[in-house]
């Protein structure tokens, strides 16, 4: 934190401008020392100033220099941003000069890490910045900006600092000052009622956030079925690219082929799998095993059947296994004579003819309905969207259940207070009120150098 750090904050390459960011207690002094006019140490904060970068009496570039003085900056420290002409040589040269003049090259995410350490943001907001950078559609952008703005943090802090803190303070007052008649006496029943309310609220956040996590990361969609039912053709049709090899030879697809599409803000990460069948081919059998493993790991299964063939016993068994996962049964090749018995399927199917462009729009509409996308888009997207936070909140639910069981077992109130304090601490882990250095290192190491 005592070092003055620097890094290139824009993509390195040919372009109109590049930005080199400098942050730290000596940021203004160091940049001032390499300018022609040597006056940026006296300029007002939040101003942009024309100057030249000079090194060994040589003009390196004409630049615009943004000066932002602490504490009202991104990191909370003095920040200087040098806007130079875009280009690899000139950008690297200015970075080299800064490093030779007293700066240290920033670690990945170190600017944002300093922002967190200086109390400008909490962990949820830092994760939101990463999500905003990586957002691939409009919904994920909205979710990320709500997290950056602190709306998600406020939701968690309200539960922690209002609801659980109130329970803890009332218990402590009752234990420490039993002689006062004018204090609110909190009973075991009062705690149970409050815990039930909080359990319902947290459960709702988790369930809604699961959908948000899927929309943020995309829906892992596996195309499953026997050989030659049209799996690879379906992948190619959906991603509008001839990525998977399509032939009439069974077992052509032996390994996983992947592609992505975006439908109205929803990303589908589609996986074409090896055709499921008994085979003595070692390589093909490995592909078949991968296909079966994906059934439990995917968010959505597109199970493809051939309208022109009778359903097999193996397919009937696979359909029964799909009852516990999100799935859509697809009846392909409906342009051919029907030989399959729909009574053997006993559920709604989507009829397709991939070669004749029949049914694709209906399939995409069904996917949106299955994941409730229309309803989701109408809401204010204020959700937890990362596995870390959701895992902690799941632990909170389990701890609430433990407290309720302790109450039923007539455990003394002072022991119950310890368990509620544990929940309070868990909620603090989500926002970073409590944190470990290892967590911080892992989080910010995922950022790019200039952020």
Residues facing 416 on adjacent strands: none
265 Cβ neighbours under 8 A, 6+ residues apart: 137, 138, 139, 140, 215, 373, 377
What is the value of pTM for the model shown?
Answer: 0.63
> What tokens does 183 get?
């204090």
- Sequence length of the chain is 451
Residue 111 burial by Cβ neighbours in a 10 Å radius (0-12, 13-18, 19+): buried
Residues of the chain with CATH 1.20.120.430: 135-293+358-432
pLDDT at residue 443 tops 90: no
Is the Cβ–Cβ distance between 12 and 64 less than 8 Å? no
Instruction: Take residue 303 and report the two structure tokens written for it.
Output: 């199970």
Q: Which residue has the higher pLDDT, 84 or 284?
A: 84
Alpha helices in 45-164 (DSSP H): 88-100, 110-117, 123-134, 138-148, 151-157
The partner residues of 332 in beta bridges, in order of sequence, read 306
Spatial separation of the C-alpha atoms in residues 288 and 273, rounded to whole Å: 8
Q: What is the pLDDT of residue 91?
A: 93
Res 9: pLDDT:
92
- The pLDDT tens digits for 146-170 are 888 888 888 888 888 888 887 777 7
Half-sphere exposure of 4 (CA within 13 A, CB side): 21
pLDDT at 286: 47
- Round the CA-based radius of gyration of the chain to a whole number and report it: 29
Beta-sheet pairing, 300-306 with 219-225: parallel
Report how far Cα 124 is from the mean position of its chain's Cα atoms: 11
Compute the average pLDDT of residues 1-8.
92
Superfamily covering domain 135-293+358-432: tRNA modification GTPase MnmE domain 2 (1.20.120.430)
* Mean pLDDT of the 392-396 span: 89
- What percent of the chain clears pLDDT 70, i.e. is strictly above it? 80
**Reported confidence tier of residue 183, pLDDT bands at 50, 70, 90:** very low
Q: How confident is the model at residue 255 (pLDDT cuts 50, 70, 90)?
A: very low
Sort strands 17-23 and 5-8 into parallel, antiparallel or unpaired: antiparallel
Q: What is the pLDDT of residue 250?
A: 44
* pLDDT recorded at residue 279: 46
CA 27 distance to own-chain centroid: 33
pLDDT for residue 386 is more than 80: no
Q: What percent of the chain has pLDDT over 90?
A: 23
Per-residue pLDDT reduced to its tens digit, 218-246: 788 888 888 778 888 888 888 776 544 44
- What is the reported pLDDT for 99? 96
Closest CA to 305 of 345, 271, 272, 256: 345
How do residues 68-117 score in pLDDT, each as one tens digit?
A: 999 999 999 999 999 999 889 999 999 999 999 999 999 988 999 999 88
Q: Among 48-52, 61-65, 169-173, name the one with the lowest average pLDDT.
A: 169-173
Domain with CATH 3.30.1360.120 in the chain: 5-117
253: confidence class by pLDDT, cuts 50, 70, 90: very low
Q: Which helix or strand (DSSP H or E) is residue 8 part of?
A: strand 5-8
Which pLDDT belongs to residue 245?
40
Q: How many CB atoms lie within 10 A of CB 285?
A: 16
Beta bridge partners of 80: 22, 67
According to CATH, what is the number of the domain 5-117?
Answer: 3.30.1360.120
pLDDT at 313: 79
CA 322, 392, 388, 383 dihedral sign is positive
Residue 276 pLDDT greater than 70, yes or no? no
Average pLDDT, the chain: 80
Cα gap 377→54, rounded to integer Å: 52
The Cα–Cα gap between 58 and 36 comes to: 10
For residue 424, what pLDDT is reported? 87
**Structure tokens given for 415:** 């022991």
What six digits make up the tokens of 407?
A: 């109450």
349 vs 132: CA distance, rounded Å: 37
């Amino acid at each position: 934190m005592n070092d003055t750090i620097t890094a290139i904050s824009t993509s390195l390459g040919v372009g109109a401008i590049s930005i080199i960011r400098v942050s730290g207690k000596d940021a203004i002094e160091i940049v001032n020392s390499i300018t022609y006019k040597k006056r940026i140490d006296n300029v007002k904060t939040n101003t942009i100033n024309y100057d030249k970068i000079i090194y060994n009496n040589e003009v390196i570039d004409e630049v615009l220099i943004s000066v932002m003085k602490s504490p009202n900056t991104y990191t909370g420290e003095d920040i200087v941003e040098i806007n130079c002409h875009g280009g690899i040589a000139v950008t690297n040269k200015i970075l080299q000069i800064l490093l030779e003049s007293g700066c240290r090259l920033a670690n990945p995410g170190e600017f944002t890490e300093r922002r967190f350490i200086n109390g400008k943001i909490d962990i949820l907001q830092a994760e939101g910045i990463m999500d905003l950078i990586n957002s691939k559609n409009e919904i994920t952008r909205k979710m990320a900006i709500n997290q950056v703005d602190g709306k998600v943090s406020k939701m968690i802090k309200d539960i922690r600092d209002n609801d659980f803190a109130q329970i803890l303070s009332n218990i402590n007052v009752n234990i420490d000052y039993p002689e006062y008649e004018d204090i609110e006496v909190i009973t075991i029943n009062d705690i149970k009622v409050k815990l039930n309310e909080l359990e319902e609220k947290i459960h709702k956040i988790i369930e809604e956030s699961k959908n948000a996590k899927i929309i943020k990361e995309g829906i892992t969609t596996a195309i499953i079925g026997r050989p030659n039912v049209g799996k690879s053709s379906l992948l190619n049709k959906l991603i509008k690219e001839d990525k998977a090899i399509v032939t009439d030879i069974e077992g052509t697809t032996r390994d996983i082929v992947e592609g992505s599409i975006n439908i109205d803000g929803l990303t589908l990460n589609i996986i074409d799998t090896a055709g499921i069948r008994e085979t003595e081919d070692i390589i093909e059998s490995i592909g078949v095993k991968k296909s079966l493993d994906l059934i439990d790991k995917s968010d959505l299964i597109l199970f493809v059947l051939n309208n022109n063939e009778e359903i097999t016993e193996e397919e009937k068994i696979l359909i029964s296994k799909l009852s516990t996962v999100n799935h859509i049964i697809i009846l392909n090749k409906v342009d051919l004579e029907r030989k399959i018995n729909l009574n053997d399927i006993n559920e709604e199917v989507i009829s397709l003819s991939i070669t004749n462009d029949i049914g694709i729009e209906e399939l995409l509409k069904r996917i949106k309905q299955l994941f409730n996308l229309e309803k989701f888009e109408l809401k204010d997207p204020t959700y937890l969207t990362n596995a870390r936070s959701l895992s902690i909140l799941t632990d909170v639910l389990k701890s609430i259940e433990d407290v309720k069981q302790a109450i039923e077992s007539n455990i003394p109130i002072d022991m119950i207070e310890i368990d509620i304090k544990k929940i309070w601490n868990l909620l603090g882990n989500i926002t970073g009120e409590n944190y470990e250095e290892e967590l911080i290192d892992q989080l910010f190491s995922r950022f790019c150098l200039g952020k």
